[in-house]
C-alpha cells in the first residue's frame, strides 16, 4: 500500500488539543479506505481528541461511542 503524506492531518494534530473533537461528514474524508481511516484515527485517540462522523453516526466523545 502506498504511503501518502497527510499535511492536513499533521497540521490538525499540531493544532488540536486534548478534549477537542474532530467532526467529519463521512469517514472517507479522514481516510480513503476503512483501514486507512481507522489507522488515521489512532493518533487522534492517543492525543485525547474525540471524533464524530455524521453519516456513520460515530461519536467517540460519548459513553456509547465507538
Asked if residue 65 is part of any domain, the answer here is no
How many structural domains comprise the chain?
1
Which of 48, 44, 53 has its CA nearest to residue 13? 44
DSSP labels, 10-57: HHHHHH--TT-EEEESSGGGT-SSHHHHHHHHHHHHHTT-EEEETTTT
Q: What is the pLDDT of residues 5-59, one digit of tens each?
A: 788 888 988 999 999 999 999 888 887 777 887 787 888 889 999 999 999 888 9
* DSSP state letter for 63: T
pTM for this predicted structure: 0.76
Range of the structural domain that residue 46 is part of: 18-59
Residue 1 pLDDT > 70: no
**Confidence band, pLDDT 50/70/90 cuts, at residue 65:** low
Asked if residue 48 is part of any domain, the answer here is yes
Amino acid at each position: 500500500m502506498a504511503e501518502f503524506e497527510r499535511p492536513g492531518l499533521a497540521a490538525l494534530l499540531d493544532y488540536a488539543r486534548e478534549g477537542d473533537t474532530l467532526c467529519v461528514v463521512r469517514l472517507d474524508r479522514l481516510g480513503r479506505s476503512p483501514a486507512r481511516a481507522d489507522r488515521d484515527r489512532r493518533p487522534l485517540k492517543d492525543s485525547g481528541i474525540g471524533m464524530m462522523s455524521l453519516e456513520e453516526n460515530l461519536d467517540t466523545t460519548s459513553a456509547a461511542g465507538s
